[in-house]
Amino acid sequence: MPLHRLTGITLGVPNVETTAAYYTEFGLTPRDGSRSFSTVDGGEQLTLATSDRRRLLDLRIGVDDTDDLDRIASSLAKLDLAPERRASSLVTFDPGTEVRVTIEIAPRLVSNPTPAPGYNAPGDSVRVNVRAPGILRKSPVKPRKLGHVVLGSTDQEASQRFFIEGIGFKVSDTVPGLAAFMRCSTDHHNVLVQQAPVSFLHHTSWQVDDVDEVGRGASAMLEVDPDRHVWGLGRHHIGSNFFWYLKDPAGNFSEYYSDLDCIVEDDLWTPGAWEGAKGLYNWGPPPPPSFLAPQDLAALMTGAHSK
């Protein structure tokens, strides 16, 4: 597809300094005075900006060339949207999620393969006479890329049309009447939009090498502050990925993930419609109420947010 990845996000928070410290501990590499952060493979993918409340201000999506920008501009026009066209990008806005979306010409992401973890299985001992690599690792966990964002929309159907018909995302799976898992790459999903009483950012998700890195990263974060824990360790059903969710100082959830479904041939993938908790997780602890409805949701609805 002409879309090929999320290139980055701008996150608005009331407390830039403490939020920056959190994402540095999370494993992102600070740049430009600690307001911008890089991943190992994706480059600069997170920018923090001062905002009266926590929100996703900008979502950036990569395309190959100006022909892709022309096609997207034409599709958006059919939805009565008039994006701002620039030399190598176009900027539009989704009212349902209140997010500015920037489509920009960007290089495709290249990742060096992660060495096989060497898991032993019944009848197949691939690792003998040595300890598992996962328990020998000492270096801090470093996310490889920004994988996806999950947004609450006051008009989920309109937001879904915006991303699918306007920008060119494809649907991987749905929770009927509630959410759509959409992709702009070969990843199972890069954007999930769910129906919500107020527009808000639910979480950002960052890819690490394997389940050991999910566990190591979360354990290190919780050793510093156990109150960061939200949900994990577990394995999602939709998307199949291992997960562990933490909470940043502004109230946004951030996810370490690994082993997400990959869709290379659209014709070989059949989107599913999932109901209830089965779609959320295959195994692990059940999701806490604070994951399903963040504790500050009422404050975001009334405008009684922290400044």
Q: Output the pLDDT for position 304.
A: 55
Residue 58 burial (10 A CB sphere; 0-12, 13-18, 19+) = middle
Residue 199 domain-assigned (yes or no):
yes
- Cα 57 from chain centre: 14
Across the chain, mean pLDDT equals: 94
Six token digits for residue 195 = 């129906």
Of the pLDDT bands very low, low, confident and very high (cuts 50, 70, 90), residue 305 is: low
- Cα 244 from chain centre: 13
**Domain count for the chain:** 1
Residue of 99, 258, 246, 223 lying closest to 167 (CA atoms):
99
Residue 83 domain-assigned (yes or no):
yes
Q: What phi, psi does 270 have (nearest 5°)?
A: -110, 110
Residue 290 domain-assigned (yes or no):
yes
Residue pLDDT, tens place only, 231-259:
999 999 999 999 999 999 999 999 999 99
DSSP 224-243: H-GGGEEEEEEE-SSS--EE
Range of the domain at 20: 3-108+143-302
Residue pLDDT, tens place only, 139-184:
999 999 999 999 999 999 999 999 999 999 999 999 998 899 999 9
Of the pLDDT bands very low, low, confident and very high (cuts 50, 70, 90), residue 307 is: very low
Residue 232 domain-assigned (yes or no):
yes
Residue 261 domain-assigned (yes or no):
yes
Six token digits for residue 193 = 């939009």
Interatomic CA distance for residues 229 and 234, integer angstroms = 13
Residue 153 domain-assigned (yes or no):
yes
Residue 238 domain-assigned (yes or no):
yes
- The H or E element that residue 292 is part of is helix 289-292
Q: What is the CATH number of the domain that holds 213?
A: 3.10.180.10
Q: Is 122 left (phi over 0), alpha (psi -120 to 50) or beta?
A: beta
Instruction: Considering only residues 115 and 234, tell me which one the structure prediction assigns the higher pLDDT.
Output: 234
**Under 8 Å between Cβ of 194 and 181:** no
DSSP state of 121: B
Could you tell me how many residues make up the chain? Answer: 307
Residue 100 burial (10 A CB sphere; 0-12, 13-18, 19+) = middle
Q: Could you list the beta-strand ranges (E) of the chain.
A: 3-13, 29-31, 36-39, 43-50, 55-63, 84-85, 89-94, 99-105, 145-153, 170-175, 179-183, 191-195, 200-207, 229-235, 242-247, 253-258, 272-273
DSSP state of 191: E
**Under 8 Å between Cβ of 182 and 193:** yes
Residue 123 domain-assigned (yes or no):
no
**Under 8 Å between Cβ of 271 and 180:** no
Six token digits for residue 34 = 């600690």
Give the CA distances from residue 180 to residues 159, 188, 191, 208, 290, in Å, rounded to whole numbers and listed in that order.
10, 11, 8, 24, 21
Task: Tell whether the model's pLDDT for residue 130 goes beyond 80.
Answer: yes
